[in-house]
Amino acid sequence: MEFEQAWLDYTKKASCKGSEDIKYICVKTRGEEQDELIKNGILELQRAFAGILGIELTVCQNLGEGHGICLTLTEGIQTEAYHVYENKGEITIEASDSKGILYGAFELIRQVRIGNPLGGLDLFKAPKMPMRMLNHWDNMDGSIERGYSGESFFFKQDRILVDERTVTYARLTASVGINAVVINNVNVKDAATWLITERYLDKVKELSDIFAGYGIKLYMSLNYAAPIELGELDSADPLSEDVRGWWKRQMELVFNRVPNLGGFLIKADSEGRPGPFTYGRTHADGANMLAEAAAPYGGKIIWRCFVYNCQQDWRDYKTDRARSGYDNFKGLDGEFLDNVILQIKNGPMDFQVREPVHPLFGGMTQTNQMLEVQIAQEYTGQQRHLCYLIPMFKEVLKFRTYVQEQDDTVEDIVSGRTFGQHNCGMAAVANTGDDANWTGHDMAAANWYGFGRLAFEPELSAEEIAKEWIRLTFGIDKQVEETLLFMLMTSWKAYEEYTSPLGIGWMVNPNYHYGPSVDGYEYSRWGTYHRADHMGIGVDRSREGTGYALLYNEPNASVYDDKEKCPDELLLFFHHIPYTWKLKSGKTVIQHIYDTHFDGVDMVDEMVERFMKLEGILPQKPYLRMVERFTHQKEHAREWRDQINAYFYRKSGISDEKGREIY
């Protein structure tokens, strides 16, 4: 399958002030051999300078009188950090480790391509989050769970693929500072259970070596019941000596064969996957068993907190899926070994367009934590609608948990500032596939790019990240930049407006989760209800209801618990509210529903209208691909608007004040 270079396309020429005299590139190590990372850094710079500036960089021992770039390994800089600066026309990329050098090389290329002059360049950057990870939900048959951009490029027909595309993937991923990748789906079944056996380890090693050359640790998802499913034991009880011994031997095998392996990601006791509950054991028992076996090799166990009862009866008003992560894990705080990291979704439900922040952030104080977000847009338009998610992720990171007076935001927690942890960070469920443009929607690549940039430098604004991505992908052009920036920055808001209102979420078609169906999940077992009747809508999660609101630290708990104080955008998540209730905006709930749905569609129309003016300015291929997606988004946004408005008009019997057409 053909593939493009996304934001690393060096075929577009550019000029860069201060680059004119650069001819050479040299490396100064502290005596050690140049490793793959440094070699890849040099290659990348050579490729970029040749492609963009027409400069062939010659490798030399010492720069001497010629101007050039010097990669310098030095002491005293934090690992993975880099200092890129200009002095008398010479550019230095300084770091303590070769990963920092590689990141510095990508930084220099970025600076050149976004049009910054090299004279006076002086950037010192250190990643804020230790782990910056992608989780691929790729299955070994080549399909991708919740994948919207083609098939897997890691697997096909139960084989592991290693080819040119793998290398380009690693370059793209490393260029934004991502340093860990889980290659297979968290739902580990069939052939994927065998990934940790001789059957696949040679290929896993090949893949992990390519990744290692770009500073990426390869991780795999594990099947908790592997000892049984591989036919070796009849139990997976984490306290059984046989089972513990089995995992120790298996880990020894895997880490010896794949020394660059980072560790494992596990989804246990969730949505039908096996786990320690079967044996009456806790998640700490399960995670620690694996962690103990992986520890001698420096392996990490990333254990997901997405554990809930997916067999709920809709008549049951007491069980609350939103509580489940907290209820299952809070009591285990402090019981996990140091190489275990709990991975927590950004919200308590499941990647909806709007959710409160997961209460485990700020709930646990003695456990390594990692934030899980999803760029695959499962519930936010499936890469057919434009939905730039970096503004949402920024809100999550900035959320104050009040776990202590200072350094209490989600960002502080997952950066390790709050509790002094080093096993923490951020993971995104990936949005890539084997489509030529990698992400189906060309503009969905901004989420991949943006996720990495944000995890490395969370202080960057969503606009800054978007601008970088636009320039790197489409070159420097004022109209292109203004248009695409407007579209990216409007898109999340627009999507929220024309889909489910005020934080309630869902209202999608069951199973594939695309398109409006207000009652799609209303009578199902998944615990995802809106509870609308003819009087009102929303789930009572206050102290009178499920009590979920009280899981937060003060003052958050009191704010969410109180209808009057709860922010509008989350009101229906926390409270059951009459349609005639006045929001802080001054509108009634029902009028808000009508207005936002009409406005959301208008926003899409405006985005698309502006986009169409880029015909002949953007390269034709991506332009046409996007026209197709935007045409669909326009229509589909109308479908959302009309279904939601008609449903609530019919339920409430209250007309739109503005008399617009409701079907």
Task: Give 366 or 509: the residue with its C-beta nearer to ligand GCW.
Answer: 509
Q: Is 306 in the site for ligand GCW (CB under 6 A)?
A: yes
Q: Which of 257, 259, 277, 258 is nearest to 267 (CA)?
A: 277
Q: Is 350 in the site for ligand GCW (CB under 6 A)?
A: yes
64 in the Ramachandran plot: left (φ > 0), alpha (ψ -120 to 50) or beta?
A: left
Spell out the residues 6+ positions from residue 327 whose beta carbon is closer than 8 angstroms to its own. Answer: none
Q: Is 137 in the site for ligand GCW (CB under 6 A)?
A: yes
Site size with ligand GCW, rule: CB under 6 A:
10
Site for ligand GCW in 377-396 (CB under 6 A): 378
Q: Is 355 in the site for ligand GCW (CB under 6 A)?
A: no
CB of 469 to ligand GCW, least distance (A): 25
Catalytic site residue from 44, 80, 94, 350: 350
Q: Is 186 in the site for ligand GCW (CB under 6 A)?
A: yes
Task: Give 306 or 598: the residue with its C-beta nearer to ligand GCW.
Answer: 306
Task: Give 166 or 187: the residue with its C-beta nearer to ligand GCW.
Answer: 187
Check if 468 is active-site: no
**Bridge partner list, 342:** 303, 369
Catalytic site residue from 202, 271, 609, 657: 271
Interface pattern 257-286 for ligand GCW (x via CB under 6 A): ----------x-------------------
Check if 271 is active-site: yes
Is 205:163 a contact under the CB 8 Å cutoff?
Answer: no
Q: Rounded CA gap, 515 and 297, in Å?
A: 46
Is 270:308 a contact under the CB 8 Å cutoff?
Answer: yes
Q: Rounded CA gap, 96 and 117, in Å?
A: 26
Tokens of 516: 């409006």
Task: Give 336 or 521: the residue with its C-beta nearer to ligand GCW.
Answer: 521
Could you write out the three-class secondary structure of 167-211?
Answer: HHHHHHHHHCCCCEEECCCCCCCHHHHHHHCHHHHHHHHHHHHHH
Check if 327 is active-site: no
Q: Is 309 in the site for ligand GCW (CB under 6 A)?
A: no
CB of 378 to ligand GCW, least distance (A): 5
CB of 414 to ligand GCW, least distance (A): 18
Q: Is 73 in the site for ligand GCW (CB under 6 A)?
A: no
Q: Is 603 in the site for ligand GCW (CB under 6 A)?
A: no
Task: Give 142 or 545: the residue with its C-beta nearer to ligand GCW.
Answer: 142
Is 462:391 a contact under the CB 8 Å cutoff?
Answer: yes
Q: Rounded CA gap, 372 and 390, in Å?
A: 13
Q: Is 145 in the site for ligand GCW (CB under 6 A)?
A: yes
Applying CB under 6 A, among 143, 187, 260, 309 the residue interacting with ligand GCW is: 187
Q: Are strands 577-578 and 536-537 parallel, antiparallel or unpaired?
A: antiparallel
3-state secondary structure of 92: strand
CB of 431 to ligand GCW, least distance (A): 13
Report residue 259: phi and psi, to 5°. -65, -20
Q: Is 146 in the site for ligand GCW (CB under 6 A)?
A: yes
Site for ligand GCW in 561-600 (CB under 6 A): none
How far, CA to CA in Å, does 246 sit from each of 236, 260, 339, 453? 10, 22, 19, 40
Q: Which residues are catalytic?
A: 271, 350, 378
Q: Which residues bind ligand GCW (CB under 6 A)?
A: 137, 145-146, 186-187, 267, 306, 350-351, 378
